[in-house]
């Protein structure tokens, strides 16, 4: 149950983003106050994540021998392989979209006759 609550806390901290900053009544024109609130919020989120990771490492250490600990931590932690593939696909899509965007701008400029390319 404690692990579920910790996971939910981390997910809420990540998903809410800056929502709590505005809920605290910070004046949007007061940029220093807003920056301080954001720093506090980021520190709180980092602590929640740190606590979650620390609990997971303690759980893994309890069930593993010292010789097997490092490979298990490498397997469980780190960047998941699907994230790398998603990043590559999103990068390719962004490159294609930027090429299409600049091609459409170039053709519209040529059609307008303002600038000859």
Are residues 61 and 69 in contact, defined by beta-carbon separation less than 8 angstroms? yes
Residue 17: both structure tokens together:
């983003």
Q: What is the largest CA-CA distance in the chain?
A: 74
pLDDT at 23: 44
**pLDDT tens series, the chain, 117 aa:** 555 555 555 555 555 544 444 444 444 455 555 567 777 778 888 888 888 888 888 888 888 888 888 888 877 876 677 888 999 999 999 999 999 999 998 888 888 877 665
Integer angstrom CA distances of residue 37 from 44, 53, 73: 11, 24, 34
DSSP-derived 3-state class of residue 100:
helix
For 14, phi and psi rounded to 5 degrees? Answer: -75, -45
| Cα separation, 65 vs 67, whole angstroms | 5
Q: Which pTM does this prediction carry? A: 0.40
Indicate the SS3 state at residue 17.
coil
Q: Pick from 90, 64, 85, 86: which is nearest to 75 by CA?
A: 64
Domain range annotation of the chain:
1-78, 80-117
């Amino acid at each position: 149950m404690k692990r579920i609550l910790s996971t939910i806390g981390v997910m809420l901290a990540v998903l809410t983003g800056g929502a709590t900053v505005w809920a605290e009544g910070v004046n949007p024109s007061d940029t220093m106050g807003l920056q301080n609130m954001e720093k506090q919020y980021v520190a709180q989120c980092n602590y929640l994540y740190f606590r979650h990771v620390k609990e997971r490492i303690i759980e893994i250490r309890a069930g593993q021998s010292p010789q097997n600990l490092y490979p298990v931590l490498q397997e469980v932690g780190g960047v998941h392989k699907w994230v790398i593939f998603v990043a590559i696909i999103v990068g390719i899509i962004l490159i294609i979209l930027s090429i299409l965007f600049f091609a459409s701008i170039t053709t519209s400029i040529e059609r307008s006759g303002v600038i000859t390319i």
